[in-house]
Amino acid sequence: MNNIILITGTTSGFGKAIAEKFASNGWNCIITGRRKEKLFSLADELKSKYNIKLLPLVFDVQKRKEVFDVLTNLPAEWSDINILVNNAGLALGRDSFENANLDDWDTMLDTNVKGLMYVSKAVIPYLIEKKQGHIINIGSIAGKEVYQFGNGYCASKFAVDALSKSMRIDLLSKNIKVTAIHPGAAETEFSLVRFKGDADKAASVYNGFIPLYAENIADIVYYVATLPPSVCINELIVTPTAQANAYLFHKV
Ligand code: NDP
Ligand code: 8X3
């Protein structure tokens, strides 16, 4: 099968928009997430809208055995993967270091760092076999600059930055591109998850300015993924126009 992309975390936000963008351009998509119903309903929707093939895989990126059981046993027709997008991730809480919740730190590091490492380690052999590939890691502006109360989340995204650089070096001889995309504030389910279902608090993050939307990031991922084989965008920091850095916004 031609043109296969594997995207983690496609039940909402960036991942869902990335899946739609590639599907609408004829790509066959392996989509993943923990929420089975949302995942399967996206698979049905994209299949019928775009007449492409979809493989929905339900697993938790934090669970090493699950990740390897699922991804190292892909059906043969799906093993010819061109692109891996490591997108699954989350923030939990926004507290000062001394008040931050230890379980939140564990979950962020297990998901954003170790989950990305497990998924990549399981998928890279397919790219090596193919003698070409592209890994696109969704980092964050929080992985380039630290902001107040960002502690555990920032640490996890600084790790994504480091891993992206490290992969680019280690995979150089394998003809595998590595791109890190570092978005600023984007209105998805991100803040609802971060503030544990507090919808007012989540919405207030985006008051007074126009944030990024998931489709903006999907367009950028599609652009970096469709450049000539000899061209690799190493990294991009993408913010709303009203955001200057990890903590300075112009709100009206
Ligand atoms: P959403 O909450 O909308 O989407 C997150 C996705 O990640 C969901 O599909 C969720 O699926 C999946 N996910 C979370 N934890 C796990 C897990 N343990 N195993 C498998 N899948 C998981 O947020 P965004 O789309 O905004 O976030 C996507 C990425 O972008 C994250 O890495 C985030 O850190 C990053 N980011 C977000 C920014 C923003 O402002 N929104 C800015 C910069 C970076 P499910 O719950 O079904 O498992
Ligand atoms: C998400 C953006 O600024 O909330 O990574 O950390 S921010």
Q: How far apart are CA 91 and CA 150, in angstroms?
A: 9
Block residue for tokens 């990549």 = 120
Structure tokens at 188: 């998805």
Determine the pLDDT at residue 85: 99
Please tell me the residue having the least CA distance from ligand 1 atom 48: 34
Q: Are 2 and 29 in contact (CB under 8 A)?
A: no
Atom index in ligand 2 nearest the CA of residue 190 equals 1
Ligand 1, from 59, 136, 188, 204: best to mutate by most atoms within 8 Å of Cβ?
Answer: 188
Ligand 2: which residues within 6 Å by Cβ? 140-142, 184-185, 246
Catalytic residues: 153
Rounded to an integer, the average pLDDT of 63-71 is 98
- Model pTM? 0.99
> By percentage, how much of the chain surpasses pLDDT 90?
99
Give yes or no for residue 1 having a pLDDT over 90.
Answer: no
Q: Are 54 and 75 in contact (CB under 8 A)?
A: no
Give yes or no for residue 240 having a pLDDT over 90.
Answer: yes
Say which residues have a Cβ less than 8 Å from residue 230's Cβ, sequence separation at least 6: none
- Band the pLDDT of 2: cuts 50, 70, 90: confident
Atom index in ligand 1 nearest the CA of residue 157 equals 34
Per-residue pLDDT reduced to its tens digit, 173-195: 999 999 999 999 999 999 999 99
Q: How far apart are CA 147 and CA 154, in angstroms?
A: 8
Give yes or no for residue 228 having a pLDDT over 90.
Answer: yes
Say which residues have a Cβ less than 8 Å from residue 89's Cβ, sequence separation at least 6: 9, 111, 112, 115, 116, 138, 156
Determine the pLDDT at residue 103: 98
Domains identified in the chain and CATH numbers: 4-238 (3.40.50.720)
Ligand 2, from 144, 190, 192: best to mutate by most atoms within 8 Å of Cβ?
Answer: 190
> By percentage, how much of the chain surpasses pLDDT 70?
100
Atom index in ligand 1 nearest the CA of residue 183 equals 43
